[in-house]
Amino acid sequence: MRWLKPNLRSSIYGLLGNPVKPSESILENGTEDIRESMLAALGDQGSKDFPQITRRIRYANDIQALWYLRGDLMAALASIHGERVARERVASLTAQFQGLLPGGLASRPSPLVG
């Protein structure tokens, strides 16, 4: 019965708004998947036009650094493809961060977006 207690405790904490932190391997894999998605969204043209953003994405230390680079990526994508396309691509990237960020960094629904 001892093996059940951590899972039950984790479930209760999750219901109370204190989600369990992802394991190191899940966090590392998620970080790399997001990094690759961000570089793919930027594409070859973006890599040529915005080498500093490409470099910052490639060498970001952690998931939080990638989270904060979304704004720079949005600006680069907007200048290449237009704001509508940039918003769509960044929104799909933002969904990939779910469950990987500390609670205070998760995006919240905005009353301005509709």
In a domain, 18, yes or no: no
**What is the per-residue pLDDT across 37-90, written as a single tens digit (0 to 9) for each?**
999 999 999 999 999 999 999 999 999 999 999 999 999 999 999 999 999 999
**What is the per-residue pLDDT across 2-37, written as a single tens digit (0 to 9) for each?**
444 455 545 554 555 555 567 777 778 889 999 999
> What is the rounded distance in angstroms from the CA atom of residue 3 to the CA atom of residue 50?
51
In a domain, 74, yes or no: yes
* CA nearest to 89, candidates 14, 38, 48, 46: 38
pTM attached to this predicted model: 0.72
In a domain, 88, yes or no: yes
> Residue 46 in contact with residue 53, Cβ under 8 Å?
yes
> What is the rounded distance in angstroms from the CA atom of residue 54 to the CA atom of residue 39?
7
Domain that holds residue 74: 23-102
In a domain, 15, yes or no: no
SS (H, E, C) 9-46: HHHHHHHCCCCCCCCHHHHHHHHHHHHHHHHHHHHHHH
In a domain, 34, yes or no: yes
In a domain, 4, yes or no: no
As given in the structure block, the two tokens for residue 106 are 């998760």
The number of domains in the chain is 1
In a domain, 45, yes or no: yes
In a domain, 111, yes or no: no
**What is the per-residue pLDDT across 86-97, written as a single tens digit (0 to 9) for each?**
999 999 999 999
